[in-house]
A and B are shown apart, each in its own frame.
Chain A
Amino acid sequence: EVQLVQSGAEVKKPGESLKISCKGSGYSFTSYWIGWVRQMPGKGLEWMGIIYPGDSDTRYSPSFQGQVTISADKSISTAYLQWSSLKASDTAMYYCVRELGYCSGGSCYDAFDIWGQGTMVTVSS
């Protein structure tokens, strides 16, 4: 079964650092981009950035550039999202996603086909 399994919920204080994880299984982890999506309480989905575990090529949404760091360790099929100094406004659910992106027969197929279960991050003093 193809799946992404995320690390558990976190409760942190402002200013603390944090690294959450997303482990892929059931497919070739180095062959698909892995992205991160934020959902603040009661709000919509926001794309944060994406990494290609095969060579660690990483792209960030302009809204999140400099605010978080995305990395991956292909030897253990795991992607990471980290903060060096958390803020209360980082309180949200974070999902990792597998990017389905290929072209065939003149059409391209782009989507996030596999989602992790989500990691809730709560930042409060």
Chain B
Amino acid sequence: SSELTQDPAVSVALGQTVRITCQGDSLRSYYASWYQQKPGQAPVLVIYGKNNRPSGIPDRFSGSSSGNTASLTITGAQAEDEADYYCNSRDSSGNRNWVFGGGTKLTVL
């Protein structure tokens, strides 16, 4: 089965830009999607596909991909962006399985 690897923790100064990355073989075949989870809440989808934002997600969130690495970029991070971020994608086995990254805790300083 596939694995997705994320840095456990990342920090960014208020108003600056931060990139959160996700690496894995399945990303050569499938786009990653990204989820934001705040304490005590269910995750929320923030980016999917090549670079698509669901309704209500601010345009400071964007996604990109190259080779086996997907990235979530927050341009002009806000205090409310402090959260855990998870990537996921379909598993490269092709059996409709999915895989999640281990998550990245984003701290906004």
| Chain A positions near chain B (C-beta within 8 angstroms) | 33, 35, 37, 44-47, 50, 59, 61-62, 95, 100, 107-113, 115-118
- Asked if B24 lies at the interface with its beta carbon under 8 angstroms from chain A, I say no
A111 touches B48 (CB 8 A): yes
Which residues of A sit under 8 angstroms from B96, Cβ to Cβ? Answer: 33, 50, 59
Q: Which of A35, A61, A110 has the most CB of B within 10 A?
A: A110
Q: Which of A50, A109, A111, A118 has the most CB of B within 10 A?
A: A111
Which residues of B sit under 8 angstroms from A116, Cβ to Cβ? Answer: 42
What secondary structure prevails in chain A residues at the interface with B? Answer: strand
A87 to chain B, nearest CB (A): 22
B33 touches A115 (CB 8 A): no
Which residues of A sit under 8 angstroms from B90, Cβ to Cβ? Answer: 110
A40 to B95, CA, bound (A): 25
Interface size class on chain B is 20 to 34
Q: Which of A35, A45, A95 has the most CB of B within 10 A?
A: A45
B86 touches A112 (CB 8 A): no
A123 to B90, CA, bound (A): 31
B88 to chain A, nearest CB (A): 7
A110 touches B33 (CB 8 A): yes
**Sampled A-B contacts (29; CB under 8 Å):** A33-B96, A44-B86, A44-B101, A44-B102, A45-B43, A45-B88, A46-B100, A47-B88, A50-B96, A59-B96, A61-B1, A61-B97, A108-B30, A108-B49, A109-B49, A110-B31, A110-B33, A110-B48, A110-B89, A111-B33, A111-B45, A111-B48, A111-B88, A112-B35, A112-B88, A113-B45, A113-B54, A115-B43, A118-B42
